[in-house]
Structure 1
């Protein structure tokens, strides 16, 4: 059985916090053969104040040809922010059990986390290590003539088209046909931050695959607001880095624009 990459989102999670929304982390576990015990495969990042989280962290799964491991996802609400790793001390939201074959036969697999606990959706695709590598990106705020970034905490999301679309296909790709590849911390002034991303997770190893950039204003209780969006590709970001370009232009629904500095400063093994 080949290796697979899994992206996970949740919807309508139970709200475990009295004065805010749940702060979910999802844990993926695998059953130990011939036992009732599960071991942790990995966990997602923490997303604060969110009942419909899109997790950017991916999971890689593999199994021997004659195996079909039982898997479990468990979602917890983080109450102790000082020690997120102590999952047993956090508040349980819900869980779902399934097998790897369920994900393979249904590439978009949705399951209930329990009564009134919400839903979990797993997008699964074959993973090819030959198409993987490391992308180092320089991310920061650039020119903002209309002041869209002023007066708040902002962050950037990079979404990858699920299918082999390019910049020429922008108008033909619906918003649901993307998967979150990366989410930054707060964009602050002109401070640049380097982000090391998986080449496969970012664009399936295809430098021309369509990427959607979304700049968000962080709101209290998870009420984030989309400030501006735009489209690009890894190839365009690489060319910007080589030419010293001044960033990618994003626009809001009223036509106001801003430029974000998003450059692929090094890409391996992609050589152009």
Structure 2
């Protein structure tokens, strides 16, 4: 059976780094109509992938994916996409829709446009045909855009229902709720789905958490529609009934006055099909990454560099580790170290970086080491600033012998051991791994990441070269939480970034430091907040107050 757990509409990240990110953001809601049916015994299981073309106009990169909606040719996706809207720039977007099956996926259509076209569209619903399948009508994509409010509140709520109408006299429904936010043109966009509860007329759903700006964009009087549906395996869920409310009523009128009769205009509009009732609600201020930084959170970065033989002989100009003493042209690792280091050094309160290598043979024993200090001092492996880190990296190349295998687990476990000693909410650790190839200890790495996910720690993996990095997507578990051998990660802590996407044409420099910063740091703020919130750590009083 497909996953029918509850879904919320959070999408995109707000790093709160004013020097890099704009404060004006917009939210995209996506739905499709009349999609191609690629399945024989059921309907297509669509998912939309959103791409943004880089500022140089020659390559799309993935912004994110919606959830998969099973057996549905007219999906309304819950996940929203938050983007910075720049009036002065042309921001090209591509929307690909795929039918996701166990054995693979089928292409359902594509739409390419610009963010300006969507924003400037007359009427709030931007409708365009999907194309790309020869000789077939692929249906259409509908995009609703809305400028986000600056509201920083979260609402926690729980609903129940009573005496829901049976689909037939001898069967009880499998009910779930969907919440829809009114748009400015009178249409509605789905923002939340509860889990499905089996065979009950009196369900009590789990508590949900949603941003107020997602639920009603900060407008407490905006209409919210609640649909109660009876789940069907074929995706043709049956509407039991609907009701309407506002966040103001939910928050201020008390539980007794938040009981709603369900009506169904498709059946008998005068008949009641049960009631939906508010069971509990709480409004809280949302804590941001900046709140923790301003409260004195100390961030610490460690660096691990891949010295495996797959990088190529260091004397070969094609090697990722080749040092060109004549032109001083930086190699791939220097570029990655300097580009990423210049970003993260501003957030490391001490400016000291422990630097390690892995996958090389170390003198005098000439044995392979999966973690060795770049400065040669195991008791104090710290480098002062990025320049010293790069200098130690170059010196190490002349001392060690590139070998293998490519094992990530030892450096992850080492950083996790340090993070384990600082679980009081005052420090957070980020491990930067720069690598050229495929992980050889995938199972051990997964276990190490799962352990680290319970600690104040994140991992950024930067890929150099043109290797197949598809395995990294499994570790960067944006859509499905990482699991191995029955163990699940507490949260997503991995971000993978291929450096080639940001290189100039001759490969000697970074084309856009701003875009690289956005990609490298994209998930870190949310990862920090999720850890702190899960442990109940609140920001300390601002140091400037």
Q: Is the pair's TM-score, using the shorter chain for normalization, greater than 0.5?
A: yes
Q: 2:155 aligns with which of 121, 135, 138?
A: 135
Aligned to 2:273: 257
Greater RCO, 1 or 2 (C-alpha within 8 Å, sep 6+): 1
Q: Secondary structure, in 3 states, of the residue corresponding to 1:156?
A: strand
Q: Secondary structure, in 3 states, of the residue corresponding to 1:125?
A: strand
Q: 2:163 aligns with which of 137, 141, 144?
A: 144
Q: CA deviation at 1:243?
A: 4.1
Separation (CA, whole Å) in 2 of partners of 1:184 and 1:162: 21
Aligned to 2:108: 93
Between structure 1 and structure 2, the one with the greater Rg is 2
Q: Do the aligned partners of 1:23 and 1:78 also contact (CA within 8 Å) in 2?
A: yes
Q: CA deviation at 1:73?
A: 0.6
The structure carrying a bigger strand percent of its residues is 1
Aligned to 1:167: none
- Equivalent residues in 2 for 1:55-74, closer than 5 Å: 55-74=77-96
Aligned to 1:212: 225
Matched, 1:248 2:260: yes
Matched, 1:196 2:209: yes
Q: What residue ranges of structure 2 are gaps of 5+ in the alignment?
A: 1-21, 287-545
Aligned to 2:144: 123
Q: Secondary structure, in 3 states, of the residue corresponding to 1:101?
A: helix
Matched, 1:109 2:121: no
Work out the number of aligned pairs and report it.
249
Matched, 1:266 2:282: yes
Q: Secondary structure, in 3 states, of the residue corresponding to 1:257?
A: coil
Q: CA deviation at 1:16?
A: 0.9
Separation (CA, whole Å) in 2 of partners of 1:247 and 1:30: 44
Matched, 1:28 2:50: yes
Aligned to 1:48: 70
Q: Secondary structure, in 3 states, of the residue corresponding to 2:116?
A: helix
27-36 or 53-62, which deviates more = 27-36
Q: Do the aligned partners of 1:156 and 1:187 also contact (CA within 8 Å) in 2?
A: no
Q: 1:182 aligns with which of 192, 195, 208?
A: 192
Aligned to 1:153: 174
Q: CA deviation at 1:35?
A: 4.6
Separation (CA, whole Å) in 2 of partners of 1:127 and 1:177: 17
Q: Do the aligned partners of 1:70 and 1:100 also contact (CA within 8 Å) in 2?
A: yes
Separation (CA, whole Å) in 2 of partners of 1:31 and 1:264: 44
Aligned to 2:483: none
Deviations 1:186-208 (A, max 9, x none): 13443430111121121121112
Separation (CA, whole Å) in 1 of partners of 2:218 and 2:57: 38
255-264 or 212-221, which deviates more = 255-264
Aligned to 1:14: 36
Separation (CA, whole Å) in 2 of partners of 1:192 and 1:222: 20
Q: Do the aligned partners of 2:87 and 2:116 also contact (CA within 8 Å) in 1?
A: no
Separation (CA, whole Å) in 2 of partners of 1:14 and 1:96: 15
Matched, 1:225 2:245: no
Q: CA deviation at 1:148?
A: 6.2
Q: Secondary structure, in 3 states, of the residue corresponding to 2:107?
A: strand
Give the root-mean-square deviation of aligned CA atoms: 2.5
Q: Do the aligned partners of 1:238 and 1:263 also contact (CA within 8 Å) in 2?
A: no
Q: CA deviation at 1:15?
A: 0.8
Q: What residue ranges of structure 1 are gaps of 5+ in the alignment?
A: 82-88, 164-172
Q: CA deviation at 1:264?
A: 5.7
